[in-house]
């Protein structure tokens, strides 16, 4: 696997789930002057560098920036920028880290922004003007600064002002024109008091996605992180590390309910060209998932008056994609899931990341696949889903 | 597979998840005179037969009693007893239905009582005396009347007065002496405002289980049914059948969090002879689950100060069992899960039930397994877990 400092002519390895740690200037450099004071700014505290927004404080867990640390060093304590690997917050350093790891391209999520822009959806409850400006500033910064470092290798995904779904559709159109390749949505919109995805109010947004071929990425934890954390702590009877460990292990499976809700409520049936990506959910449970959904449809569709004309697995295979890091069960059962429905990810710089060992991981876990399937999983499916250009 | 109207000398097919629909007399025949008026009684209403307890009304969904109905007839509407198959509520008729289906033995859960006695845990909030008497009456009825019809074929599991964990341990000892073979617990005790399973207050109960070899059965929906239903309805944006269909499809996976909480909080590590059965959860996701738990343990155990000395899969293989109906993914990946860790179920008379086609289901889906593995999955593992006697 040759390293490619320049834009590749074609892709061999694409990671579809990686994270920028927004540097200090994202909002202070870009917000209108009247909003700048209330906007996100980094403040140094005894607990590390934390973000302040409109008087409130947002601690970023160290677990979001662990690339290059040994497992023994992993910590949830907020870090200072100078304690992180520069590839976390600096695009040029990121490209070097990708070269080290043999990764041609990364598809990017934020950190302070949340995995589906949730920080600003929350903020809109008290300050919608500031929230909308923060969303636009993040989206602009991501394409104009970060991804501009190497637009073929750093793939932008936009967050949206979802508290106003008309404005969200407008922002999505603007972002696609600027170079964003996917839209981020929370898996369970009701957690943010938004309508369920079957509601007509989502129609314009989903139509824009269909018309432009833009996929929707649903990252685990994009909606239910905090709630699920409280559940886990309650279930174990403590708020200590053990509860967090159970939460980390369980989080991927939460997208099962997200996908079941979408499919059974008829979203993929109604928008047949809408592509939905289940991010960091793993894939090793999806063979079971498809069997179970079809079984349920067979037995229950009469009394439920299901809107589906085909079994759920039909819509999954046509429109849904799962992403994973290392998942031998998923690879073993890939024919059940669909070799065209799965994509690899490296999750830099989170705790799960395979960096800097991705080359070895790929060799060890994918070496036995046929060259065609291996290429599809590592790059070909992502090229199609995110509409990346090859020469 | 010969039919055996009499007690078998050895078991060929054991279903480890079936349900009694409690007949009218369970509590009215057995409660002390002073409590009888407030205790559960069946009242006929325009909506079918419903249970009244202490002035409150408990509708039993028709979906709990669908054996013998076509899928087109499935309905959540409360049924009258005379609209159900008698095998739902009459032990002699049940044995005939088991003979039709080629099932030697069934391991039993209640209906009004809830899948872990939750109806009476709720009742204890206002009337603990009545609740404790209702628990005892159910447990007595199950062994003395229902299972007495054929004690080797009808396997009792007890519910417990969990709001008082000392009393629960005492009731468990009493039930084991009377012939109960397992104890039912809710997967997420905090849903009933009980301590997490890692809390010392569970110790006596778990010790009784260890000393007597009595397994704990954790049925999906034993704790989070109603909460999860509300989540699902919120996520879809409606309370209609589609939400219920999504809930039915998703419910098995909820036990993932239950098992992760138990394992990471050190319950199987601390009670090495405690057997935990994940009931109706399916098994096709468990290969992924074991990989993901071990991956999480590798990376996070330092900062979380994990109480585990071995990776999570070690405790799973030693002490945890999954049950399933039809699960081709699970069978395909059975070596990852452990052929000794899975047990078949028929789920009579719920909507999932394979009745009256279990013989065909077993032939079609298990026919390719080695005779030893097939026997273990269909009967051998259950004989060991529930300590059933063979001649």
Residue-range domain boundaries for chain B: 14-385
Helix A241-250 to helix A225-236 angle (10° resolution) is: 130
3-class SS of residue A278: strand
Cβ contact, residue pair B242, A265, below 8 Å: yes
A156 and A224 Cβ atoms separated by less than 8 Å: no
CA atoms within 13 A on the CB side of A151: 12
Task: Find the range with the poorest average confidence among A70-84, A314-328, B311-325.
Answer: A70-84
Amino acid B224: pLDDT: 67
**Alpha-carbon separation of residue B380 from B261, B339, B359, B373, B374 (angstroms):** 28, 11, 17, 9, 9
How many residues in total does chain B contain?
391
Cβ contact, residue pair B188, A235, below 8 Å: yes
Q: How far apart are CA A8 and CA B322, in angstroms?
A: 47
At A6-37, the pLDDT tens digits run 556 799 999 999 999 999 999 999 999 999 99
**CATH classification (class only), B14-385:** alpha beta
Q: Which residues of A touch B246 (CB under 8 A)?
A: 257, 260-261, 264-265
> Does the pLDDT value for residue B327 go beyond 50?
yes
B249 and A310 Cβ atoms separated by less than 8 Å: no
Q: Dihedral of the CA atoms B269, B273, B276, B282 (nearest 10)?
A: 90
Amino acid A227: pLDDT: 67
Above pLDDT 90, what percent of chain B?
85
3-class SS of residue B236: helix
pTM beyond 0.90: the answer is: yes
Q: Which residues of B touch A288 (CB under 8 A)?
A: 282-285, 327, 329-330
**CATH classification (class only), A14-23+90-385:** alpha beta
Task: Find the range with the poorest average confidence among A59-68, A273-282, A340-349, B217-226.
Answer: B217-226
B246: nearest CB among A240, A245, A261: A261
Dihedral angle sign, alpha carbons of residues B349, B354, B358, B360: positive
B220 and B145 Cβ atoms separated by less than 8 Å: no
Task: Find the range with the poorest average confidence among A148-162, A234-248, A304-318, B47-61.
Answer: A234-248
Is any Cβ of chain A less than 8 angstroms from the Cβ of B240?
A: yes
Q: Which residues of A touch B232 (CB under 8 A)?
A: 257, 261
Radius of gyration (Cα) for chain A, nearest Å?
20
**Alpha-carbon separation of residue A56 from A21, A52, A118, A123, A156 (angstroms):** 19, 5, 15, 10, 28
Amino acid B46: pLDDT: 85
Amino acid B217: pLDDT: 98
Q: What are phi and psi of B237, to 5 degrees?
A: 85, 25
At B20-57, the pLDDT tens digits run 999 999 999 999 999 999 999 999 988 789 999 998 88
**Alpha-carbon separation of residue A379 from A69, A105, A375 (angstroms):** 27, 9, 6
Locate the chain B residue with the closest alpha carbon to A292.
Answer: B249
Cβ contact, residue pair B329, A288, below 8 Å: yes
> Does the pLDDT value for residue B307 go beyond 80?
yes
Q: How far apart are CA A375 and CA A104, in angstroms?
A: 13
Which of A 253-312 lie inside 8 A of B, CB atoms?
253, 256-258, 260-261, 264-266, 282-285, 287-289, 291-293, 295-307, 312
What are the helix (H) ranges across chain A? Answer: 25-28, 33-36, 91-101, 118-124, 128-141, 165-178, 203-212, 225-236, 241-250, 255-264, 267-270, 286-304, 312-319, 328-332, 334-337, 358-366, 371-375, 381-385
A71 and B299 Cβ atoms separated by less than 8 Å: yes
Q: What are phi and psi of A340, to 5 degrees?
A: -90, -5
Cβ contact, residue pair A198, B336, below 8 Å: no
At B257-304, the pLDDT tens digits run 999 999 999 999 999 999 999 999 999 999 999 999 999 999 999 999
Taking the CA of residue B188 and the nearest CA in chain A, the distance in Å comes to 6
Q: How far apart are CA A58 and CA B15, in angstroms?
A: 52
Cβ contact, residue pair B236, A261, below 8 Å: yes
Is any Cβ of chain B less than 8 angstroms from the Cβ of A200?
A: no
Cβ contact, residue pair A288, B289, below 8 Å: no
> Does the pLDDT value for residue A54 go beyond 70?
yes
At B343-380, the pLDDT tens digits run 999 999 999 999 999 999 999 999 999 999 999 999 99
Q: Dihedral of the CA atoms B364, B370, B373, B374 (nearest 10)?
A: 30
H-run or E-run covering B58: strand B56-58
Amino acid A264: pLDDT: 95
B242 or B14, higher pLDDT: B14
B290 and B313 Cβ atoms separated by less than 8 Å: yes
Amino acid A297: pLDDT: 97
> Does the pLDDT value for residue A3 go beyond 60?
no
Q: How distant is the alpha carbon of residue B36 from its chain centre? A: 27
B236 or A173, higher pLDDT: A173
Is any Cβ of chain B less than 8 angstroms from the Cβ of A246?
A: yes
Q: How far apart are CA A351 and CA A372, in angstroms?
A: 30
Cβ contact, residue pair A242, B306, below 8 Å: yes
At A173-216, the pLDDT tens digits run 999 999 999 999 999 998 899 999 999 999 999 999 999 999 99
> Does the pLDDT value for residue A5 go beyond 70?
no
Name the band, by pLDDT with cuts 50, 70 and 90, for residue A1.
Answer: very low
Q: What is the ipTM of this complex?
A: 0.95
B162 and B121 Cβ atoms separated by less than 8 Å: yes
At B120-169, the pLDDT tens digits run 999 999 999 999 999 999 999 999 999 999 999 999 999 999 999 999 99
Render B247-291 in DSSP notation, one character per residue.
HHHHGGGGHHHHHHHHHHTTHHHHSTT--EEEET--STTHHHHHH
B277 and B323 Cβ atoms separated by less than 8 Å: yes
**Alpha-carbon separation of residue B5 from A354, B12, B101 (angstroms):** 58, 14, 12
Average pLDDT, chain A: 94
Q: How far apart are CA A87 and CA A132, in angstroms?
A: 28
Cβ contact, residue pair B240, A305, below 8 Å: yes
CA atoms within 13 A on the CB side of B311: 14
Locate the chain A residue with the closest alpha carbon to B74.
Answer: A303
Name the band, by pLDDT with cuts 50, 70 and 90, for residue B243.
Answer: confident
Render B327-386 in DSSP notation, one character per residue.
-HHHHHTHHHH-TTSEEE---TTSTT--TT-HHHHHHHHHTTS-HHHHHIIIIIHHHHHT
Name the band, by pLDDT with cuts 50, 70 and 90, for residue A92.
Answer: very high
Which of A 308-367 lie inside 8 A of B, CB atoms?
312, 326-330, 332-333, 336, 351-352
A291: nearest CB among B248, B258, B284: B284
Cross-strand bridge partners of residue A280: none
Cβ contact, residue pair A352, B299, below 8 Å: yes
Q: Which residues of A touch B71 (CB under 8 A)?
A: 298-302
Locate the chain A residue with the closest alpha carbon to B330.
Answer: A288
Q: How many CB atoms lie within 10 A of CB B57?
A: 11
Structure tokens belonging to residue A167: 């404005």
Looking only at the bridges linking them, the beta strands covering A154-155 and A157-158 are unpaired
Amino acid A2: pLDDT: 41
B314 and B269 Cβ atoms separated by less than 8 Å: no
Name the band, by pLDDT with cuts 50, 70 and 90, for residue B239.
Answer: low
Amino acid A229: pLDDT: 73
């Amino acid at each position: 696997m040759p390293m490619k400092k320049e834009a590749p002519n074609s892709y061999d390895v694409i990671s579809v789930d990686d994270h920028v740690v927004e540097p200090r200037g994202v909002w202070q450099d870009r917000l209108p002057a009247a909003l700048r004071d209330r906007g996100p700014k980094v403040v140094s505290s005894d607990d590390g560098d934390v973000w302040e927004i409109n008087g409130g404080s947002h601690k970023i867990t160290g677990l979001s920036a662990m690339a290059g640390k040994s497992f023994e060093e992993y910590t949830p304590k907020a870090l200072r920028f100078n304690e992180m690997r520069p590839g976390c917050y600096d695009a040029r350093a990121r490209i070097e880290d990708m070269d080290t790891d043999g990764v041609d391209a990364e598809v990017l999520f934020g950190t302070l922004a949340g995995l589906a822009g949730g920080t600003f959806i929350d903020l809109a409850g008290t300050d919608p003007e500031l929230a909308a400006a923060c969303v636009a500033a993040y989206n602009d910064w991501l394409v104009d600064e970060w991804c501009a470092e190497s637009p073929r290798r750093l793939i932008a995904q936009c967050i949206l002002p979802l508290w106003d779904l008309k404005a969200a559709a407008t922002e999505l159109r603007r972002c696609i024109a600027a170079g964003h390749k996917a839209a981020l949505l929370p898996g369970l919109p009701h957690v943010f008091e938004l309508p369920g995805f079957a509601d007509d109010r989502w129609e314009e947004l989903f139509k824009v996605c269909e018309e432009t071929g833009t996929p929707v990425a649903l990252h685990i934890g994009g909606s239910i992180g905090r709630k699920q954390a409280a559940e886990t702590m309650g279930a174990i009877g403590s708020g200590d590390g053990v509860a967090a460990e159970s939460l980390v292990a369980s989080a991927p499976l939460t997208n099962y309910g997200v996908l079941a809700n979408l499919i059974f409520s008829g979203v993929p049936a109604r928008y047949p060209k809408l592509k939905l990506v289940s991010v960091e959910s793993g894939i090793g449970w999806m063979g079971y998932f498809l069997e179970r959904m079809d079984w349920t449809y067979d037995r229950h569709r009469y009394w439920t008056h299901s809107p589906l004309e085909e079994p759920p697995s039909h819509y999954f295979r046509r429109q849904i994609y799962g992403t994973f890091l290392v998942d031998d069960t998923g690879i073993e059962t890939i024919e059940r899931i669909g070799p065209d429905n799965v994509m690899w990810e490296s999750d830099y710089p989170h705790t799960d990341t395979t960096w800097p060992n991705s080359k070895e991981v790929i060799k060890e876990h994918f070496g036995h696949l046929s060259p065609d399937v291996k290429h599809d999983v590592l790059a070909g499916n992502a090229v199609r889903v995110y509409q990346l250009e090859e020469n």
